Chain A
């Protein structure tokens, strides 16, 4: 009997278009084929031994793919055909299932409140019900979290969880518009809760005043439809991304720095994740955080609003979104572009052969270079008090300021010499290896990078870091001055 192999499947059968087989039913024919071409077995059958969906078996012009026909005797002069099944379906419309949408109802005040949404053809009652049914977790109630939380609440998202461990500080009020002067020293989640209640008391607001770590993130986000990353550091970003991949939750990512911002959607229906585009974080100290590098006030408003808009589009199931794309916006020169992000087939978290199977097993501190105690050569440092005592005693020391010019303009460090990190290696001769050299930056992170750079360049003199940077030095009062500032 002749078995015809479609050109689409022929690679797995030694490129033979026709194979002669003496067996006379489909079951025996398939057994014989997989005996002769063992590599075809994995192609034809899945792990449970079922015929894969992309294969169809015809005898003549009759479809005999169903197992019930496999024992039927086939006449000698028949031709058995192994053909491809070419088919597919569209991806799901919304991240909210129809059952959950249908379980939602509106009262008269809600019809009035959301009238502007109900009027939109693309949202309407169906979309607004999806919004009310949605459960969204927002990580970070800071600069990005401020617009995200308020717009989700205003739009009527039924359940909003906000996760943040921090308290409101005066410096937050420049960009974190969900908090006010009256909220100073309060947990950010408490302040956010008050604002959401003022917008709509019917929203189910869940406050989690916890710091996310590998041992708690899964329990904090599991069961939510969507996670919105409004964090401000790389450790949190990788942790959030990985937990979302493992919990199969789509992620709306956002980040800001000075005048620029980024928004993207990761892990939607098995799409690319944050690690596919950014396999590893930059070296610690190389890229200042928002707290270190600053950001213009309205920038998180722009980026956070786009995050909220993307989240609502995913929930409603409309439009083109940033799935597998990264939008970058430069607010200084008003330029923007969209980068396509491809799924990395060897991504350690979201590929088929992923190495990371649980966030608890992955060392995020080490991955992000935050484990100071485990560095090959430990960096010695002075506390602000120790450095102040050395300065007061008149001991000869060299202080090197590696901050940017605009940072030095805010707070000048007296008697410090200025050497940018990029010039350290070639200007190492300006330092005296016979005396202590102390490196200072804003938070004490870039100065560690500076010390490592000098050591790699072969500098042998004693190097010290100012722990906590100039920020930690602010409260030190020297005997010769009224106050540091």
Chain B
């Protein structure tokens, strides 16, 4: 597998999260079904980074993720975040925080509007990072 399938509806939801968070970074968790490829559900996450930092940084309370994985009968497929007025490429920090095998979708929001979306996955051995087709 070297592609991520996003329905128009999911894409629209992600765009809305990005636009709503602008000029701060927005973030979400991407959920799928066991045994089925693709992303079936998006759940917005709270960016807990300090107000001054949130324009160029995001972080999520891990307990929020723990609650989601215990509550939801779904598989965690990936994480999503936005880069306000920046490119949809991974920063060094993004790469450092990537868990191998999990899909990371990055959306560029320029002046409040969608500009680009890309998906990346870290190799299982923490080696390189592959870009996936969307």
**A270 proximity list for chain B (CB < 8 A):** 90, 95
* A88 contacts B57, C-beta separation under 8 Å: yes
| Chain B residue at minimal CB-CB distance from A61 | B63
Number of interface residues of B (CB under 8 A): 51
* B115 contacts A89, C-beta separation under 8 Å: no
* A269 contacts B65, C-beta separation under 8 Å: no
Top 4 nearest A-B pairs (CB, nearest first) are: A352-B128, A89-B93, A87-B59, A88-B94
Excluding A53-B96, A87-B97, 15 further A-B contacts by CB distance (< 8 Å) are: A8-B65, A53-B97, A54-B98, A54-B99, A58-B63, A81-B62, A87-B60, A87-B93, A88-B58, A269-B91, A271-B89, A320-B87, A323-B87, A324-B89, A353-B127
Q: A83-B62, A86-B60, A93-B86 are in contact. Are A343 and B130 (CB under 8 A)?
A: yes
**B7 proximity list for chain A (CB < 8 A):** none
* B86 contacts A52, C-beta separation under 8 Å: no
A-B contact pairs, 27 of them (CB 8 A): A6-B66, A6-B69, A7-B69, A8-B65, A8-B99, A8-B102, A42-B126, A52-B126, A53-B97, A63-B62, A81-B66, A84-B62, A86-B29, A86-B45, A86-B65, A87-B49, A87-B57, A87-B58, A87-B60, A87-B93, A87-B97, A88-B25, A91-B89, A93-B86, A323-B87, A345-B128, A353-B128
| Chain A residue at minimal CB-CB distance from B57 | A89
* B126 contacts A269, C-beta separation under 8 Å: no
Q: Does A321 contact B (CB under 8 A)?
A: yes
Interface of B is mostly: mixed
**A271 proximity list for chain B (CB < 8 A):** 89
Interface of A is mostly: loop
Q: CA of A92 to CA of B62 in the docked complex: distance in angstroms?
A: 26
Partner of A342, one of B60, B102, B110, B131: B131
Q: Among residues 30 to 50 in chain A, which have CB atoms less than 8 Å away from a CB atom of chain B?
A: 42-43, 46
Number of interface residues of A (CB under 8 A): 45
* B87 contacts A321, C-beta separation under 8 Å: yes
* B83 contacts A91, C-beta separation under 8 Å: yes
Q: CA of A271 to CA of B83 in the docked complex: distance in angstroms?
A: 16
Q: CA of A320 to CA of B116 in the docked complex: distance in angstroms?
A: 9
Q: CA of A87 to CA of B87 in the docked complex: distance in angstroms?
A: 17
| Chain B residue at minimal CB-CB distance from A63 | B62
**B63 proximity list for chain A (CB < 8 A):** 58, 61, 83
Q: A40 → chain B, closest Cβ, in Å?
A: 11
Q: Among residues 323 to 351 in chain A, which have CB atoms less than 8 Å away from a CB atom of chain B?
A: 323-324, 342-343, 345, 351
| Chain A residue at minimal CB-CB distance from B132 | A342
Question: When each residue 94-125 of chain B gets 1 if its CB lies under 8 Å from chain A and 0 otherwise, what string results?
Answer: 11111111100000101000011000000101
* B94 contacts A89, C-beta separation under 8 Å: yes
**B60 proximity list for chain A (CB < 8 A):** 86-87
* B130 contacts A345, C-beta separation under 8 Å: yes
Q: Using CB atoms and an 8 Å cutoff, list the residues of chain B in contact with chain A.
A: 25, 27, 29, 45, 49, 55-60, 62-63, 65-66, 69, 75-76, 79, 81, 83-84, 86-87, 89-102, 108, 110, 115-116, 123, 125-131, 133
Q: Using CB atoms and an 8 Å cutoff, list the residues of chain A in contact with chain B.
A: 4, 6-9, 11-12, 42-43, 46, 52-54, 56, 58, 61, 63, 81, 83-93, 268-272, 319-321, 323-324, 342-343, 345, 351-353
| Chain A residue at minimal CB-CB distance from B61 | A86
Q: B134 → chain A, closest Cβ, in Å?
A: 10
Q: A51 → chain B, closest Cβ, in Å?
A: 12
* A86 contacts B27, C-beta separation under 8 Å: yes
Q: B50 → chain A, closest Cβ, in Å?
A: 12
Q: CA of A43 to CA of B25 in the docked complex: distance in angstroms?
A: 27
* B93 contacts A323, C-beta separation under 8 Å: no
| Chain B residue at minimal CB-CB distance from A325 | B116
* A90 contacts B65, C-beta separation under 8 Å: no
Q: B37 → chain A, closest Cβ, in Å?
A: 16
Interface centre among B62, B63, B90 (most CB of A within 10 A): B62
* A84 contacts B131, C-beta separation under 8 Å: no
* A89 contacts B91, C-beta separation under 8 Å: yes
**B98 proximity list for chain A (CB < 8 A):** 54
Q: CA of A43 to CA of B102 in the docked complex: distance in angstroms?
A: 13
| Chain B residue at minimal CB-CB distance from A268 | B89
